[in-house]
Amino acid sequence: MVMLTLGILGSGAGSNMQAILDAITGGTLSARIGIVLCDNPEALILERARRQGIRAEVIDCAGHRMKFTEEAQQETARKLNEAGVDMVCLAGFMRLVKRPLLDAFPDRILNIHPSLLPAFPGLEAWRQAVEAGVSESGVTVHLVDAGMDTGQILGQEKVMVFADDTPETLHSRLQVAEHRLYPETIARYASRLNL
């Protein structure tokens, strides 16, 4: 059986990348991380990857704070293909993926989002949940399409919201669920695709 090669796109600390790596090391995810790409040269995810001997590079977004330019997406697709990537996993990546990257990996780009989609798409979903006063939130792994957190849902896990929760306390519990759900869903989806 050919081993699944993952490409990780991140913007921050890389805790979900670490959870994926821990699942690989622990034998629950039969894969390797071929490359980590990040749009923030100062992000901890780059250092985490390099410490593990994983190729880690910066995505040049030409000074745009939020926009993922077509040129940057083409370069990202080129680097992912060069690394032999079968599936792309967004791990706290803060830019909206569109074409041409979607075309390069059709139905093979996954994202983890800290809410029970379709509730609370977009930024700081944990803050949205607390401010809305809901009693339940959770995390979702979904396919990435051209919308904001609108792709097909592949897996979800519920997390209770307590009356005394702050955005920070809820976010902390959501991350625990993310770190469990993401590697499990990657493994399940890869077997479905026969990757």
Separation of alpha carbons 13 and 67, rounded Å: 20
Q: Over the stretch 25-51, which tens digit does the pLDDT of each residue have?
A: 999 999 999 999 999 999 999 999 999
What is the model's pLDDT at position 93? 95
pLDDT-derived band at 63 (thresholds 50, 70, 90) equals confident
Average pLDDT over residues 49-62: 95
Give the mean pLDDT of the chain. 95
Closest CA to 37 of 66, 71, 72: 72
Q: Annotated active-site positions, please?
A: 113
pTM: 0.95
What is the model's pLDDT at position 53? 97
Per the structure block, which two tokens stand in for 38? Answer: 């990040």
Where along the chain do its domains lie? 4-193
Question: How do 87-91 and 109-113 pair as beta strands?
Answer: parallel
CA 152 to centroid of chain Cα atoms? 14
* CATH class of the domain defined by 4-193: alpha beta
What is the model's pLDDT at position 2? 62
Phi, psi of 28 (to 5 degrees): -95, -10
**Are the CB atoms for 109 and 88 separated by under 8 Å?**
yes
Q: Over the stretch 73-118, which tens digit does the pLDDT of each residue have?
A: 999 999 999 999 999 999 999 999 999 999 999 999 999 999 999 9
Q: Express as a percent the part of the chain with pLDDT over 90.
A: 92
**Are the CB atoms for 9 and 108 separated by under 8 Å?**
no
What is the model's pLDDT at position 65? 80
Beginning with the edge strand found earlier in the chain, give each strand of the sheet holding 87-91 in spatial order.
56-58, 31-38, 4-10, 87-91, 109-113, 136-143, 153-160
Average pLDDT over residues 47-76: 92
Phi, psi of 168 (to 5 degrees): -70, -45
Q: Express as a percent the part of the chain with pLDDT over 70.
A: 99
Separation of alpha carbons 133 and 41, rounded Å: 36
153 forms beta bridges with: 142
Average pLDDT over residues 65-79: 92
Return the SS3 of 49: helix
